[in-house]
Chains A and B, each alone.
Chain A
């Protein structure tokens, strides 16, 4: 008959099982200690398409800002060579009046990126606030606020943006504000959904049961947990903003000369598609690269923030 063990505890039970002198084998935690943030980071690093996209996008941003500043021609600078196809001197060729296309495209990329950043910041700030208030308080406040957001969402985006852009537009930041004024509603729906589901989480009730104030619950529990989902949606917003700005500029309601943007460059080049295709292809290619990379990054972030995502990508 085995002797019962006297008052051993959980902790020393595991230690007793090990032979003295040998390095202790941790059988409880066979997996290294990792915080939630580290896990998210690791999963993101393992998402190949997202990682490649991130590198490409960073290179593109560097090219647009650093490369643009170093390049021998400025935006709008007229060179003696007009309508030359891509060459060493003009890697992207020149247009009919002799503007260097590389300088134009890099300048356009800068404006397009700036527009998207401003749109994202403002639309997120307003939308998150709007949606969070609606979601947190619920009831009638929620119903009324979300109907207003729905109203904005039903507006035909391009038509309204074109009208507003026509009246207030011209410079890139005004265009950005117009786009932000339409996109916040989209963000507010996302934020509301996130807050609504978080509000029902048991750990929120647990905090309340401990006697926590609303402020503490919002700052310590709601915001840190909502950040992931909102961040994922931000990336989509960046891509959407670039595309909408492109569309507006293409239609002639966006950025005006002497400023330039990728959309404007494409629209200016459409008459020359058959004669000087390089004018069309390079800005078009940049639009595609930016939109695609940002979408992949968003995809990677979404997977990284999904706590069920623990398996290895094949």
Chain B
């Protein structure tokens, strides 16, 4: 078992031993496998991972938003209570008040038939005993915080009258309406253009500073993580494979997957001849074979990796990695571990030859 993070007084949310699986006709889909983490007061915790890595499911479990078919074990402690044992009604008292969530697509989280002001006011009134007028006033104030121009007029707009970026700001305003302790942002900028993404990240940061909330920022974009997060968790095949400060993760990764991710990124700030991709595809989380899930794609893989799954072990101050070879990864460049060739040279040669033969 991995050592559980030591609960300190400034932990607002603690997840331990979280497992989530969904039944399917081909066997159980094990979306999350034994995730432990502690979210500290006021920090921005980034969760990175590719599609299917379980990064969203982990947070949906925290919010109690998974479908009934999901089988969840473990515990999620918030404010001394285990959220997994609470009733739907008790959860409703926490959701939107003390824990708020921001989704990828703002259009699905806003109701098209109400003005944005009414929706923010409703979020306020759901948890606070204030008059409608007071709630609307608060709505204007919130819209100003997320930097919406002319907030006094914008409160009476309908979602469809706003652009995607504006809508996402409204969603952020709703999330911060009740000064939550935790904001979970699930791919908040993925649906937006880069210039708008920059604006939204600013708004998110403003919201986080204004409320003092701890934020879980889920994204597949390592650039966003580099700019925003204090600590980073890397997920792969439903498991945490590396946890550390943003500098640890980007400058001294200890898990080959993290290293591979960094080597896969084309860089805006430097010209590179070839990238070093991670070979293969992410594993299916149905009927998983034993051993390290990254082993089939890992150049460092040894027979040990296929037999026993490595646990998350401390590799430095506040830095943990799940890899039998984490010491070999230390200090390595992506191109020293991964290979740049992606084409089967023989097959390509044959293909070229056949092409020339026909021409």
Contacting residues of chain B (151-206) with chain A, CB-CB under 8 angstroms = none
Interface contact A27-B286, CB-CB below 8 Å: no
User: Chain A residues near B287 (CB, 8 Å)?
Assistant: 30-31
Q: Write out, one digit per residue, whether chain B residues 299-335 have a CB within 8 A of any chain A CB (1) or not (0).
A: 1110101100000000000000000010011011001
Q: Told that A6-B339, A8-B341, A17-B295 touch, could you supply 11 new A-B pairs with CB distance under 8 A? A: A2-B332, A4-B336, A7-B341, A13-B296, A17-B298, A17-B305, A28-B280, A29-B284, A30-B289, A31-B286, A311-B23
Q: Per a CB cutoff under 8 Å, which of A4, A7, A19, A30 touches B306?
A: A19
Asked if B22 CB lies within 8 Å of chain A CBs, one says yes
Give A310's nearest chain B residue, CB to CB: B24
- Check if B332 sits within 8 Å of A1, measured CB to CB: yes
Q: Which of B281, B337, B345 contacts A7 (CB 8 A)?
A: B345
| A27 with B296, Cβ < 8 A, contacts A4-B339, A14-B280, A19-B303 known | yes
CB closest chain-A residue, reference B276: A4
B26 in contact (CB, < 8 A): yes
Output the least CB separation between B30 and chain A (Å).
11
Counted as pairs of residues, one from A and one from B, with CB atoms less than 8 Å apart, the total is 89
Can you sample 11 A-B contacts with CB below 8 Å?
A2-B336, A7-B339, A9-B342, A17-B295, A19-B306, A30-B289, A31-B286, A42-B25, A310-B24, A310-B25, A311-B24
A274: interface (CB < 8 Å) = no
Is B42 positioned at the interface, with any CB of A under 8 Å from its CB?
A: no
CA distance A310 to B289 in the complex (A): 21
A interface footprint on B25-60 (CB within 8 Å = 1, 0 otherwise): 110000000000000000000000000000000000
Please, which residues of chain B bring their CB within 8 A of the CB of A147?
none
**Contact of A11 with B344 in the complex, beta carbons under 8 Å:** yes
Which residue of A has the minimal Cβ distance to B307? A19
Number of A residues with CB within 8 Å of any CB on chain B = 29
- Decide if A140 is an interface residue (CB 8 Å cutoff): no
Kindly state whether residue A197 has any CB partner on chain B within 8 Å.
no
CA distance A11 to B344 in the complex (A): 9
B279 within 8 A of A: yes
Cα distance, A13 to B299, chains bound together (Å) = 8
Contact with B along A279-314 (1 / 0, CB 8 A): 000000000000000000000000000000011101
**Residues on the B chain within 8 Å of A25, using CB:** 289, 306
Residue of A nearest to B26 (CB): A31
- For chain B, the bracket of interface size reads 35 or more
CA A27 to CA B343, docked complex, whole Å: 20
Does B138 make an interface contact (CB < 8 A)? no
Give B342's nearest chain A residue, CB to CB: A10
Chain A residues within an 8 Å CB radius of B23: 311-312
Contact A17 B25 (CB under 8 A): no
Find residues 257-305 in chain B having any chain A CB closer than 8 Å to their own CB. Answer: 279-281, 283-284, 286-289, 295-301, 303, 305
Expressed in whole angstroms, the minimum distance between the Cβ of B257 and any Cβ of chain A is 14
Closest chain B CB from A10 CB (angstroms): 5
CA distance A102 to B338 in the complex (A): 78
A11 CB contacts on chain B under 8 angstroms: 344
Across the interface, name the chain A residue whose C-beta is closest to B281. A28
Query: Which residues of B pack against A, CB within 8 Å?
Result: 22-26, 69, 279-281, 283-284, 286-289, 295-301, 303, 305-306, 325, 328-329, 331-332, 335-339, 341-345
- Of all chain B residues, the one with the shortest Cβ separation from A10 is B279
Residues of B near A1 (CB, < 8 A) are 328, 331-332, 336
Q: Counting chain B CB atoms within 10 Å of each CB, which of A30, A46, A312 scores highest?
A: A30
Interface of A is mostly: loop
> Are the CB atoms of B341 and A14 closer together than 8 Å?
no
CB of A270 within 8 Å of the partner chain: no
**Closest beta carbon of chain B to A1's beta carbon, Å:** 6
* Contacting pair A17 B281 (CB below 8 A): no
| Smallest CB separation, B334 vs chain A (Å) | 10
Residue of A nearest to B344 (CB): A9
Q: Which residues of A contact B298 (CB under 8 A)?
A: 17
User: How far does the alpha carbon of A239 sit from the alpha carbon of B100 in the complex, in Å?
Assistant: 48
| Closest partner residue, chain A, to B279 (CB atom) | A13
Contact B337 A4 (CB under 8 A): yes
Q: How far is the CA of A7 from the CA of B301 in the complex (A)?
A: 16
A13 touches B297 (CB 8 A): yes
Minimum CB–CB distance from B76 to chain A (whole Å) comes to: 24
User: What are the 3 tightest A-B residue pairs by CB atom distance, in nearest-first order?
Assistant: A30-B287, A27-B296, A13-B279
* Separation of A27 and B298 alpha carbons in the complex (Å): 13
Tell me if A18 counts as interface (CB < 8 A to partner B): yes
- Bound-complex Cα distance A10 to B338 (A): 12
CB contact under 8 A between A311 and B332, given known A9-B341, A13-B296, A30-B283:
no
Given known pairs A1-B332, A5-B339, the reply for A30 and B69 (CB within 8 Å) is: no
Q: Which residues of A contact B329 (CB under 8 A)?
A: 2
Given the known interface contacts A2-B328, A310-B24, the answer about A8 and B296 at a Cβ–Cβ threshold of 8 Å is no
Give the CA-CA distance A311 to B337 in the complex, in Å.
39
Q: Contacting B284 at CB < 8 Å: which of A30, A42, A311, A314?
A: A30
**CB of B68, distance to nearest CB on chain A (Å):** 9
Set of chain A residues within 8 Å of B24, measured between Cβ atoms: 310-312
Assembly CA distance A7 to B303 (angstroms): 21
Query: Which residue of chain A is the closest to B283 with respect to CB atoms?
Result: A27
Bound Cα distance from A314 to B289, whole angstroms? 26
Closest-CB distance, A32 to chain B (whole angstroms): 8
Interface centre among A8, A17, A311 (most CB of B within 10 A): A17
Which residues of B lie under 8 Å from residue A18 when comparing CB positions? 306
Contact of A14 with B296 in the complex, beta carbons under 8 Å: yes
Contact with B along A122-154 (1 / 0, CB 8 A): 000000000000000000000000000000000
Q: In the bound complex, how far is the Cα of B25 from the Cα of A46, in angstroms?
A: 9
B347: nearest residue on chain A (CB-CB)? A9
> Chain B residues with Cβ under 8 A from A10's Cβ?
279-280, 342, 344
Closest to A314 in B: B69
Output the least CB separation between B146 and chain A (Å): 34
